[in-house]
Amino acid sequence: MGTTRFIFAGAAALSLLATSALADDMTGMVMRIDRLNGTISIQQTQKGTVGGSAGGAGALQEYKTKDAAMLESVHAGDRVNYSATDNNGTGTLTKLQKQ
């Protein structure tokens, strides 16, 4: 019984850490916008010099928007600052600002 509680507590802590990591401001490049479905694909750019030989490109991630008006001011190829949350495995943008 004690081991089970420990495992569940560890899983809960990891999920909170993963969610809070998505909530931080990130930078990236808009790769694709689907205004009809309210989604945007952003390639996150890495900060700092960790993994400097990787070329600065991160993973491509698709996000839903809380409000379709968020997509009006950006276009494919724009560099953006953004914040997102994770809701049941689906990323949702909370902030999107063109650089």
- Stated as kind and residue range, the H or E segment containing 15 is helix 2-23
- Stated as kind and residue range, the H or E segment containing 12 is helix 2-23
The angle subtended at Cα 42 by Cα 39 and Cα 47, nearest 5°, is 150
Phi/psi class of residue 43: alpha, beta or left (left: φ > 0; alpha: ψ in -120 to 50)?
Answer: beta
To which residue do tokens 């909170």 refer?
A: 16
Tell me: the pLDDT tens digits for 53-97?
Answer: 555 567 889 999 988 899 999 999 999 999 999 887 889 999 999
Global pTM value: 0.66
- Dihedral pair phi/psi, residue 24, rounded to 5°: -70, 155
- Fold of the domain spanning 2-98: OB fold (Dihydrolipoamide Acetyltransferase, E2P) (2.40.50)
Tell me: the pLDDT tens digits for 63-72?
Answer: 999 888 999 9
